[in-house]
Amino acid sequence: METGSSVSKGVFAYKGKKKSVNPEKYFPRTETVNTWKRRLETYQSLWENVDTEIQILQSNLNTKIFDDLLKFTKTCHTDFTLSSQTGNPRTKEVPTAALVTGVNTPDHGVMFATLVNLLQERVSPLVAILQSKDCNNVKNTLSKLLGQILKNPQLFIEDEESPEVSQKNLPISLATLADWYDDKYSLNHSSPKKRKSTGGGGVDSQPLPPVIMVFEDLESFQPRVLQEFITICSNYLGQLPIVFVFGIATSVSAVHRLLPNSVSSTLCMEKFQAPPSTEYLTLLINQILMSKCCPFKLGSRVFKLLLDIFLYHDFSVLNFIKGLQFSMMDHFMSNPMSHLCCPLEDISNQTKRLSNNELELIRQLPSFMRYVKYMWRVALLPRQAELLTDDTELKIEVLKLLTRIHTFREEFYPMLRCLHTLVSKLPKQPLGKQLREVYATVLGWNIEENEDYKTSLDLLKFMSKDELTGLLRECASCLGDDLPSNQKDIPTSIASLLDRFDTLHELVESEEEEQVPESSPVIKKTDLHSLKKRLQEMEKKKKKLSPYEKLRSECIDYFDSLFRKYLVSPKTLPLYELLYYDSASKVRSHLAASPRSAVQLALGNSHTYLHNQLESDNLGTISPDIPDLCIVYKLHLECSQLINLYDWLQAFITVKTSNEEENDDQTKNPDKILQARFIRAVSELQFLGFVKPTKRKTDHVARLTWGGC
């Protein structure tokens, strides 16, 4: 809503940039064990490793995306030569790369920043990136273009003797850029740099660098500005080797919606499809979350929450990474024993440094208490007493349990990929189609307790021979050679099953030869009970399994035993809390917060933010010491749909002057300063969306929300 339609004019202050905060201040110092330094060091080390892996993953993914695009921009003007003519008849269309990026808007900034860097390094230093927010008219677009190209320091490295070009003294037009380009590269054009050709002893001239214009958000540009700018650029193709790169979030048809046929005909477009953000997320989960690079892992609830935010809100992998980083920070800040969440080679040193108070905290962990209680059930009372009383034995047991969790992960992920291979192509995909869906399911509970898992096994028992053998080969390939020692024999067992499927026809032929034809049943007069019994016996004979069905059941049972053994939920492991973070409520409150409820809570209970003890002691009344906006908000909660501004003002003045004498006189003749403060508070309340002006009564405002805080 514009300020002019508000109850009053608004004044907003800009306080400058935020100062950097020392992360050490966020770790609590009043805890019984002073482990915050070790936790901070462990967190910084782990996140540095994770961030490095993410950067490598992004670099590899961007290289695959941009290789073809860089080749296109590099070769589309290889035969361009400078000419004194105003137009070149050989170039009538502007080479345009239509880069379809997808709808994950928060990730586009990083993608295009990487693209610009690659273009400047490998293709041309003359690259400008244009955004719709800076290009509301043609003049601003040209100014942005010239400012980025003429101020590039790489342009003046070879021309050290000539003075720098000052943009302020030059007209804002493409003619300025064409003259500058001709002056800079005319020397190379008249006496080109010599280099050996690839064919032998000949020489060849170095091609002139193209002028690349990257439109980051093409759909957000105003059509009129875009049409005029493209038309101007097409008229300078004889003087400038112009190349367009269109960033398109939806589809290439958006270009035709923005540009008429007369303008789009001046473009020679080639489509480049970036992989969807879901593919990037799959790579991130497979190579970061399901790998040995980081001992910290997400619990089932937090993992599902981050997936839901990604799939149903923003499709942003960057926001998913921020959620991962926040989860790791909160884990190390809130858990006093989280410094044990370290690589396997550092666990021994960390456990040796545990103090008595730290060991007591370990004994109080719910998972460890269940573990000790289980010892009582299996009659291991001496060992139970040692763990509860002897610190040295507890350190040995902690080292053993943490090592077991790391070993469990090495055995967990190969079996998870094997399960995904078997169930991803089933009808209706009971466990999900993507690996991340199967992973989220297994994180929550044991696989044997899942009804979808049982349904998947039932569907596997109806598969044909060709389909089942194909899945077995895929399982053998996805397991690979780098398996833990306990799983080395699994590929051999799968190969043995495949051999038995290949020789199955011999068993079928031998069984057919041995099969004796059954005699036709003699129909006798009998009672209902005897008939029912006879029919049941005949049905059992008919249900005799074939050799393939027997082998298929044996194969499914073998995989079922593997999954039940290795795909155990991490929640069942002792000391699970030290390496897994599963506080979904904190992540939701910070990453998927509700602005309306937060604003209402702040306005209704301002003492929780301002630490006002007087207000907290008198919650039943409205204190005059709280901010004006909070007073106006609480008063408007007592009104109906329409609020009389005069009555609202009188109530506001009554509250503000409740501690002063001559209250009645001030209410009848209110101070102008109080009136101004009231109007400003009502305007702020309107800006927040709680009230709005109404035409039903000129001296009233309409209330837009209902209920208290």
Answer yes or no: do 473 and 620 share one domain: no
Q: Are 217 and 99 in contact (CB under 8 A)?
A: no
* H or E, element range at 427: none
Residue 213 lies in a domain: yes
Strands 194-196 and 203-205: antiparallel
> What is the model's pLDDT at position 453?
92
Task: Count the neighbouring beta carbons within 10 Å of the beta carbon of residue 341.
Answer: 28
Type of residue at 37: K
Maximum C-alpha span of the chain:
119
Q: How far does CA 473 lie from the centroid of its chain? A: 33
CA-to-CA distance for 609 and 607, rounded, in angstroms? 5
Which residue's structure tokens are 């297994």?
Answer: 442
> Percent of the chain at pLDDT above 90?
35
Answer yes or no: do 500 and 644 share one domain: no
Residue 141 lies in a domain: yes
Quick one: tokens of 6? 């508000």
CA-to-CA distance for 645 and 632, rounded, in angstroms? 11
> What is the model's pLDDT at position 2?
46
pTM for this prediction = 0.78
Answer yes or no: do 228 and 122 share one domain: yes
Number of domains the chain contains: 4
> What is the model's pLDDT at position 23?
65
> What is the model's pLDDT at position 366?
92
Helices (H), 250-355: 253-258, 261-264, 277-284, 300-309, 317-334, 347-352
> What is the model's pLDDT at position 402?
94
Answer yes or no: do 334 and 389 share one domain: yes
Answer yes or no: do 502 and 550 share one domain: yes
> What is the model's pLDDT at position 614?
59
Residue-number span of the structural domain to which 119 is assigned: 76-155+166-188+205-275
> What is the model's pLDDT at position 299?
92
> What is the model's pLDDT at position 541?
59
Q: Model confidence over 392-415: pLDDT tens digits?
A: 999 999 999 999 999 999 999 999
Q: Model confidence over 349-406: pLDDT tens digits?
A: 999 988 899 999 999 999 999 998 887 666 677 888 888 888 899 999 999 999 999 9
Residue 526 lies in a domain: no
Bridge partner list, 96? 244, 269
Residue 259 lies in a domain: yes
Answer yes or no: do 422 and 404 share one domain: no
CATH of the domain at 234: 3.40.50.300
Q: Which of 361, 389, 408 is the last residue of a domain?
A: 408
Answer yes or no: do 446 and 548 share one domain: yes
> What is the model's pLDDT at position 156?
37
Low-confidence ranges of the chain (pLDDT < 70): 1-33, 83-91, 152-170, 187-206, 376-379, 506-526, 539-544, 612-620, 659-670, 707-709
Answer yes or no: do 211 and 91 share one domain: yes
Residue 193 lies in a domain: no
Phi, psi for 267 (deg, rounded to 5)? -110, 140
Residue 691 lies in a domain: yes
Residue 519 lies in a domain: no
CATH of the domain at 607: 1.10.10
Q: Is 4 exposed, middle or buried (0-12, 13-18, 19+ CB in 10 A)?
A: exposed
Residue 195, classed as helix, strand or coil, is strand
Q: Is 694 exposed, middle or buried (0-12, 13-18, 19+ CB in 10 A)?
A: middle
Q: Which of 408, 431, 460 is the last residue of a domain?
A: 408
Answer yes or no: do 454 and 550 share one domain: yes
Answer yes or no: do 398 and 320 share one domain: yes
Phi, psi for 2 (deg, rounded to 5)? -70, 155
Phi, psi for 580 (deg, rounded to 5)? -120, 140
Quick one: tokens of 594? 């509700």
> What is the model's pLDDT at position 574?
92
Task: Count the neighbouring beta carbons within 10 Å of the beta carbon of residue 664.
Answer: 9
Answer yes or no: do 238 and 333 share one domain: no
Residue 196 lies in a domain: no
Which residue's structure tokens are 């905290």?
Answer: 361
Q: Are 417 and 567 in contact (CB under 8 A)?
A: no
> What is the model's pLDDT at position 360?
92
Sign of the dihedral through C-alpha 613, 619, 623, 625: positive
Considering just the CA atoms, what is the radius of gyration of the chain in Å?
Answer: 36
Q: Which of 228, 250, 275 is the last residue of a domain?
A: 275
Answer yes or no: do 393 and 423 share one domain: no
What DSSP character marks residue 641?
Answer: S
Sign of the dihedral through C-alpha 645, 647, 648, 652: positive
